[in-house]
Structure 1
Amino acid sequence: MAPPTATPHVLLVPFPAQGHALPLYDLAALLAARGLRLTVVTTPANAAQLAPLLAAHPDSVHRLIFPFPSHPSLPAGLENTRNCPPVYIAVFIHALAALHQPILAWARSQSAHPVVAVVSDFFCGWTQPLAAEIGVPRVVFTPSGVLGTAVPHSLFRRLVKRPVGCDDGFQVAFPTIPGEPAFEWREISMLYKIYIEGLVEEQVGESLEQNCLWNLESWGFVSNTFRALEGRYLDAPLEDMGFKRVWAVGPVAPDTDTAGDRGGEAAVAAGDLSAWLDAFPEGSVLYVCFGSQTVLTPAMAAALAEALERSAVPFVWVVSGDGVVPEGFEARAAAAAKRGMVVRGWAPQVAALRHPAVGWFMTHCGWNSVLEAVAAGVPMLAWPMAADQFVNARLLVEDAGVALRACAGGVGVAPDAGELAAVLADAVGEKGSGARTRAKELAAEAAIAARSGGSSYEDLERFVQEIQKL
């Protein structure tokens, strides 16, 4: 038997959703650069996504491929959550737990490179008992911010219910979170609502609850956030995160990344988009994108299109998946002094946000998009749809001051086109000056946090030191 190596070996378990897996891979690159040996669990259909990480760190990052666990509620061959309804995501969380035994058997065979810790996504709570059986600590990786992580864990910890007779405006309070935020029932995560309202089979629902409770037993949380953005939620351990330590190490994405590199083949090249934007004055263009999961209904798309036309603000509108654009709108926008561009498919979002002409970002407030905008110094128009996005919107508008509210309706709710046009006019006018200024300040703070001596850099160094002690 070969003697164990001195290099700490960490097992990483991502959740097969792009918004979850990619930032964990970014964290893996940072850990590998600091001398850790990493093994990343994946399944056949998701393995290719690891290629850039493996190419960059061929000696220190390895992949461990297992067949995706089948489940009768999932279509055959479905191995990631892209374009999936919330019920499917709940089943994914439940189904992945079947990887426990094969991973355990593999871990017990690693005599030359024994695993010293497990780092896994917060939707992989089943890795908590797995880590215990291996005999190592488990760290929860949260691709959301601290506030966006505390809120759902609070719900599952307290099992909050909407009283009989109350509508979606029922206020849910979070008294143990700094600032004591409250959210309407319609703003609560659909994953929690389908559980508490009994809309999934019992085993799946129990997995959702247990997943969160296991997270609260972990060694701690590694969060893709930074102190200047979420300092009030990092100053003291939160009850809704089990009073565990949080290492704030974000933003973890490299500055040079473009969304088209990892999200799929871009529908427009970064150079072509940059050339189009070059024709506009600094800060004059609105970039509109609602991520890879959200598809606007025809009514929502019509309201947005009308608002864009009424406001006369130059724009780039990225329409993903099966999204629709009102008939004739694209041609009218292109004809009006080439004022608007519609991109159907994936766009190089990081490159677009960093172009000087882009002055605002209308976003669903998904956390990866939020951090990309923050790093670029671009203020946001918040139009949250689901998941943690209402929580993120509150953070951006009320805490950070880098966003204005565009629409509060959520999935399927179309805004009033006139009201939305007024929001756009306010944003590019004097009323948006405060958010524009604060966005530039926060971008500088994010850059400082990630550099040597910065808060995120130091938290990452401390985390690696804790791993090395194991």
Structure 2
Amino acid sequence: MEFKPPPPAEEKLHIVMFPWLAFGHMIPFLELSRLIAQKGHKISFVSTPKNIDRLPKLPPNLSPLVKFVKIPLPHTENLPEAAEATIDVTYDEAKYLKFAYDGLQKPISLFLESASPDWVFFDFAPYWVPEIASKLKIPCAYFNILNAAFIGFLGPVPIMMGGEDYRTKPEDFTVPPKWVPFESTVAFRIFEILRIFGDSVVGDDENVSDLYRIGATIKGCDLIAVKSCSEFEPEWFQLLEDLHRKPVIPVGLLPAADDGGENGGGWSVMKEWLDKQGKESVVYIAFGSEAELSQEELTEVALGLELSELPFFWVLRKRSNEIKLPDGFEERTKGRGLVWTSWAPQPRILSHDSVGGFLTHAGWGSVVDGVQFGRVLITLTFLSDQGINARVLEEKKMGYEIPRDERVGSFTRNLVAESIRLVMVEEAGKIYRNSVKDMSRLFGDRDRQDKYVDNLLGHLHSHSRLKNERVQKIIN
């Protein structure tokens, strides 16, 4: 790709960041804020009070440049008390969170009017931001925290917004769409799309669908910023430009910085256990903050880990006390496995020499975390973009999917064990291990990441300058 130079040192930008209320969205927005602020630009990071208080702390030297703006979430019927993020609600309650979030239109409008920033970076959910920004003559960028393949798979704006009836039933999402001009296997499995079809594709009387939100967001924005890099998925970036006819700028993969103090968050206990394991022998398991495993799924994963006979470190965040590990599981695997039931510093664990593989839900943030350290991926998808990510990884031989029943998504302990052993130790899995090792150089390249941020700032500055020149011509 052709890189634009960053803005001149004396011309600093003020950028407002407005992410969706999920930590998988807020953290990339915060990481991009950190990298932009390091260049001397000013950031206003807008979210709800509880979410801002839960975010990782930024280095003290950036505090003059990053201002956190707390806007209370309006009270909404059916939303649990004190719920301000997807981590606080069940999957079925998330629509009420979106309903409350849509109630922020007036306070956001008032804030933007008073702050008068150079740019607004916003997420898919507040599809109403472009209209507000346009009235205030503030350019806005849609920051897609997922990869280019996912947005490319969703297609042109008219189809996303329901203007063209191309995909009306779940089965339509299980084949590569007609607008993808290159050979690809990227599509949902039927059980994946069935899990999200109502909220993500159809919507209801109370809420527009996620697909409509993304379409309206892309339609109204001046620029699309994508958390990926053109070296990883060049054909998908080209497709996005062809589909939307507006700038599509990769901002880099934003690999997570180390997020655990030497003795904080129980790290000393984790490190002591990891230090005792052989090099690249441990499989790390984590399914993100939003996946809700059923009792059957939890049981099959646990017994699959036991059958694999490999060391494992499992970060298990259960939402319900009714769901339990199989009787005797922890006693039988004592010493070989560690089950951790509270927050854990994922990048720090994955960076440890004893970790060799990562059993993951294939959320894009977790994929980046694993690949940057060269950890081979075993995928078990649950929601959202995860199925698309798993197909991309399988195409590139960077991740192996645990085989499942196509209709309902069920899987067995034996297939869990066989999949883990295949990619971790068997000769047939060497292609996956080698591919991830090769790609880790790209995913963890901090110098390349820095160039992507400079390139983004160059585009933001050019757009602002051209707009100012056009306005000046009209005045004259």
TM-score, length-scaled by structure 1:
0.86
Letter in 1 for 2:93: Y
Quote the offset at 1:57 in angstroms. 1.4
Moved more, 121-130 or 82-91: 82-91
- The 5-angstrom pairing of residues 66-145 of structure 1 reads 66-110=71-115, 114-145=116-147
Cα pair 2:403 2:415 within 8 Å, conserved? no
Cα pair 2:37 2:65 within 8 Å, conserved? yes
Quote the offset at 1:42 in angstroms. 1.6
Moved more, 57-66 or 180-189: 180-189
Quote the offset at 1:363 in angstroms. 0.4
Relative distance call for 1:133 and 1:98 in structure 2 (3 A) is farther
Quote the offset at 1:383 in angstroms. 0.6
Moved more, 242-251 or 39-48: 242-251
Relative distance call for 1:253 and 1:425 in structure 2 (3 A) is closer
Letter in 2 for 1:343: W
Cα pair 2:126 2:213 within 8 Å, conserved? no
**Pick aligned residue for 1:220 from 219, 223, 228:** 223
Cα pair 2:91 2:290 within 8 Å, conserved? no
Q: Distance in 2 between matches of 1:150 and 1:6?
A: 34
Relative distance call for 1:380 and 1:51 in structure 2 (3 A) is closer
Moved more, 270-279 or 51-60: 51-60
Q: Kindly indicate whether residue 281 of structure 2 is the aligned counterpart of residue 291 of structure 1.
A: no
Q: Distance in 2 between matches of 1:100 and 1:46?
A: 18
Quote the offset at 1:45 in angstroms. 1.6
Secondary structure of 1:426's aligned partner: helix
Relative distance call for 1:134 and 1:191 in structure 2 (3 A) is farther
Residue 473 of structure 2 aligns with which residue? none
Question: How many equivalent pairs are there?
Answer: 443
Quote the offset at 1:25 in angstroms. 0.3
Residue 420 of structure 1 aligns with which residue? 416
Quote the offset at 1:205 in angstroms. 2.2
TM-score, length-scaled by structure 2:
0.85
- The 5-angstrom pairing of residues 70-469 of structure 1 reads 70-110=75-115, 114-152=116-154, 156-157=160-161, 158=164, 160-163=166-169, 171-177=174-180, 178-180=182-184, 181-188=186-193, 190-194=195-199, 196-197=201-202, 200=204, 202-205=205-208, 209-239=212-242, 242-258=244-260, 266=265, 269-322=266-319, 324-334=324-334, 338-398=335-395, 400-408=396-404, 413-427=409-423, 428-448=425-445, 450-451=446-447, 454=448, 456-469=449-462
- Cα shift readout 1:308-342 (whole Å, capped 9, x = no counterpart): 222211111221133531121001100xxx21111
Relative distance call for 1:325 and 1:234 in structure 2 (3 A) is same
Letter in 1 for 2:160: F
- Cα shift readout 1:39-97 (whole Å, capped 9, x = no counterpart): 11122222213561374412111122222122223233321111534443333334323
Cα pair 2:199 2:210 within 8 Å, conserved? no
Letter in 1 for 2:140: R
Letter in 2 for 1:174: P
Quote the offset at 1:277 in angstroms. 1.7
Which sections of structure 1, spanning at least 5 residues, go unmatched?
none
Q: Distance in 2 between matches of 1:39 and 1:175?
A: 40
Quote the offset at 1:116 in angstroms. 1.2
Relative distance call for 1:147 and 1:42 in structure 2 (3 A) is same
Moved more, 100-109 or 378-387: 100-109
Cα pair 1:29 1:53 within 8 Å, conserved? yes
- Cα shift readout 1:365-405 (whole Å, capped 9, x = no counterpart): 0111110001111010011111100001011111x221111
Relative distance call for 1:232 and 1:55 in structure 2 (3 A) is same
Q: Distance in 2 between matches of 1:76 and 1:281?
A: 46
Relative distance call for 1:97 and 1:437 in structure 2 (3 A) is same
Q: Distance in 1 between matches of 2:235 and 2:427?
A: 29
Moved more, 47-56 or 347-356: 47-56
Residue 40 of structure 1 aligns with which residue? 45
Quote the offset at 1:99 in angstroms. 1.9
Secondary structure of 2:429's aligned partner: helix
Moved more, 119-128 or 359-368: 119-128
Quote the offset at 1:196 in angstroms. 4.6
Relative distance call for 1:457 and 1:426 in structure 2 (3 A) is same
Cα pair 1:383 1:408 within 8 Å, conserved? no
Using the aligned pairs only, state the percent identity: 24
Cα pair 2:76 2:100 within 8 Å, conserved? yes
Secondary structure of 1:205's aligned partner: coil
Quote the offset at 1:444 in angstroms. 0.9
Cα pair 1:93 1:207 within 8 Å, conserved? no
Relative distance call for 1:418 and 1:190 in structure 2 (3 A) is closer
Cα pair 2:201 2:211 within 8 Å, conserved? no
Q: Distance in 1 between matches of 2:282 and 2:272?
A: 13
Moved more, 75-84 or 11-20: 75-84
Secondary structure of 1:227's aligned partner: coil
Q: Distance in 2 between matches of 1:232 and 1:136?
A: 31
Quote the offset at 1:173 in angstroms. 3.4
Q: Distance in 2 between matches of 1:116 and 1:12?
A: 11
